[in-house]
Structure 1
């Protein structure tokens, strides 16, 4: 069993991309299952084979501990770690080739509290990889792009697994994709774009961040994906196979 953790900011398209990856692998003959780790999700574009909501109930937490929605979400996310044995047993019983994990929408609750890194570190599998989603609707400006790259780097450090960066919602930003991808490999082009739209203080701050992150290319290899159509899935699967399968790709 090889595990793919799908992470990103709220609204970046984690659940939809999870469903697209599942469809792609299944269509090409791989036995694939989905683990929903978001205790606050109401509806999703997939049917989870394993669901944290079977073990952690937000409404019950609110009632039992007299908490509001935010407090209940914090507690629910912390409880994820306490349910790892039950979830591991379910996953081992299913024993898929690939287990795709849809992580909580509030990335800060999963990555920066103890439960997320603990779960990833202690969940037993052959290989693990993370996907960090750059929300295409948010990263069309240099300032937002650098901010997201900084967050992606921080999340990678917290979760401690190999990470692939994915640009989502490409169908909504068709006119900006080539420029965004150029920023990932050409720091000078990004610095010039920052200079055009920033004051001196912002420019200095952003360029200093860039120079700290970019020793070798902080977002190099950013893979564009359309969450609605699945365009780009072949490139994403190839990147996943390089980590999970030593380059042996699923037949398309």
Structure 2
């Protein structure tokens, strides 16, 4: 079994991408399954093979412990980690070739709490990787792009997994797609764009962050995809195969 963790900011398209990845692998002859790790989600774009909502009741936690929505989500996510053996048993029963893990909408609950790292380390798998979603609508300015790039780098550090950076909603951003892809591969182009949009402290802070990210090896480009049209999924699967299958593509 190979495991793919799908992470990103709220609204970036994690659940829809999880669904589309499942469809892609299934159409190409592989057995894929989806594990939902979000205890607070109401509706999903796919049918769960393993669902943490079967183990943890977010609403009951809120009522029982007199917690607000955020406090209940924190407790629920920590409780999920305590159920890792049961979750693993259910995953083993399904026994897919590819397990797609849809992480919680609030990325900080999964990436920055010890329970998230615990789940990653204790979910048994031959190979593991992470996909981080850059919301194409959100990163429409160079400063926003650098901000999300910083977050992506931080998440990669926390999860300690080989990571593929994906640009979602490529069908919605029109001519901006070309600019974003240039920012992701050409440091000078991005610095020039920052200079046009900012000045003073914002310029200094943004460029300093950018240079640190570049030195850390961030500038490796983004894979643009559309969950609606399916554009880019062949490239994404190729990147996943290079990590999970030593470059062997899923056969059509």
TM-score, L = length of structure 2: 0.98
CA RMSD after TM alignment: 0.9
- List, as ranges, runs of 4+ consecutive aligned residues in structure 1 with deviation greater than 3 Å: none
- For the 8 Å contact 2:36–2:52, the answer to whether it is kept is yes
Structure 2: distance between partners of 1:123 and 1:9: 23
Cross-structure match for 1:10: 10
Deviation at 1:251, TM superposition (A): 2.0
Give CA deviations for 1:157-185 in whole Å, capped at 9, x if unaligned.
Answer: 00011000000011111211111111111
Cross-structure match for 2:62: 62
Give CA deviations for 1:7-57 in whole Å, capped at 9, x if unaligned.
Answer: 000000000000000000000000000000000110011000000000000
Q: Where does 1:78-157 land on structure 2 (aligned, <5 Å)?
A: 78-157=78-157
Structure 2: distance between partners of 1:234 and 1:95: 24
Give CA deviations for 1:185-215 in whole Å, capped at 9, x if unaligned.
Answer: 1101000000001012111111111111102
Structure 1: distance between partners of 2:250 and 2:240: 10
Give CA deviations for 1:84-110 in whole Å, capped at 9, x if unaligned.
Answer: 100101111111000000000000011
Give CA deviations for 1:100-134 in whole Å, capped at 9, x if unaligned.
Answer: 00000000011111111111011110000000000
Number of residue equivalences: 252
Cross-structure match for 2:191: 191
Are 2:161 and 1:161 equivalent residues in the alignment?
yes
SS of 1:3 mapped into structure 2: strand
Q: Which runs of 5+ in 1 are unaligned?
A: none
Instruction: Evaluate the alpha carbon distance shift between residue 219 and residue 17 of structure 1 in structure 2; reply closer, same or farther with a 3 A threshold.
Output: farther
SS of 2:59 mapped into structure 1: helix
- For the 8 Å contact 2:39–2:53, the answer to whether it is kept is yes
